[in-house]
Structure 1
Amino acid sequence: MEFRIAQEHDIPAIVNLLKQSLGESLMPKSEGYWRWKHVENPFGPSPVLVCWEDGELIGVRAFMRWEWRQKDQRYRAVRAVDTATHPNHQGKGIFKKLTLSLVDTCTQAGDHFVFNTPNTQSKPGYLKMGWSEAGRLPVKMSIVRPIHMIRNGLFGGNKREGAASSALSEHLRHPQLDALLKKYFQHQASLSTSSSVAYLKWRYLDVPVANYVGIAEEQKGELTGLVIGRIKPSRFGRELRITDCFLAKESDGRELMLQLKEKRKQWGIDYITLSGTVSVSTEKIFRSAIRTSLGPVVTIRSLSLKDLSGLQDFNQWSPTLGDLELF
Structure 2
Amino acid sequence: MNIREASQSDIPDIIKVLKASLGEGSSEKTEKVWRYKHIDNPFGESLILVAEEKNEIIGVRAFMRWNWQKGDKVYSAFRAVDTATHPDHQGKGIFKKLTLNALAMGKERGDHFVFNTPNAQSKPGYLKMGWKEISKLRIHVIPVNPFYWKKEKEIMQNFSNDVPNEFLDLDKWNEDLIGSDKVFTPKGESYLNWRYVNNPMQSYFIKSNSEYFIAGYVKIHKNFKEFRISELLFTKDASRKTIKKIIMNWAKKFGVQFVSLNVPLEGTIFKRSLSGGLGPVLTFKLIDENLDQNMFLKFKSWEYSLGDLELF
Choose 107-116 or 266-275, whichever is displaced more. Answer: 266-275
Residue in structure 2 matched with residue 220 of structure 1 by the alignment = none
- Whole-angstrom distance in 2 between the partners of 1:28 and 1:136: 27
**How many residues get paired?**
308
Residue in structure 2 matched with residue 8 of structure 1 by the alignment = 8
Residue in structure 1 matched with residue 213 of structure 2 by the alignment = 226
Distance 1:264 1:95, change over 3 A: closer
- Whole-angstrom distance in 2 between the partners of 1:66 and 1:232: 24
Distance 1:261 1:161, change over 3 A: closer
Residue in structure 2 matched with residue 212 of structure 1 by the alignment = 204
5+ unaligned residues in a row in structure 2: which ranges? Answer: none
Q: CA contact under 8 A between 2:164 and 2:206: conserved in structure 1?
A: no
TM, length-normalised to structure 2: 0.91
| 1:146 positional shift | 4.2
Residue in structure 1 matched with residue 156 of structure 2 by the alignment = 162
After TM superposition, the structure 1 = structure 2 runs for residues 1-327 of structure 1, keeping only pairs within 5 Å, are 1-146=1-146, 157-162=151-156, 168-171=162-165, 174=166, 177=167, 180-188=169-177, 189=180, 190-217=182-209, 223-276=210-263, 278-281=264-267, 283=268, 285-304=269-288, 306-327=291-312
Cα deviation per residue 1:44-82 (whole Å; 9 max; x = unaligned)? 000111111112111111100000123422111001111
Q: CA contact under 8 A between 1:225 and 1:247: conserved in structure 2?
A: yes
Q: CA contact under 8 A between 1:144 and 1:271: conserved in structure 2?
A: yes
| 1:287 positional shift | 2.6
RMSD: 2.2
- Whole-angstrom distance in 2 between the partners of 1:161 and 1:111: 42
- Whole-angstrom distance in 2 between the partners of 1:214 and 1:73: 30
Identity of aligned residues (%): 41
Task: Provide the secondary structure at the position in 1 that maps to 2:215.
Answer: strand
Task: Provide the secondary structure at the position in 1 that maps to 2:203.
Answer: coil
5+ unaligned residues in a row in structure 1: which ranges? Answer: 218-222
Q: CA contact under 8 A between 1:184 and 1:249: conserved in structure 2?
A: no
- Whole-angstrom distance in 1 between the partners of 2:244 and 2:90: 51
TM, length-normalised to structure 1: 0.87
| 1:148 positional shift | 6.6
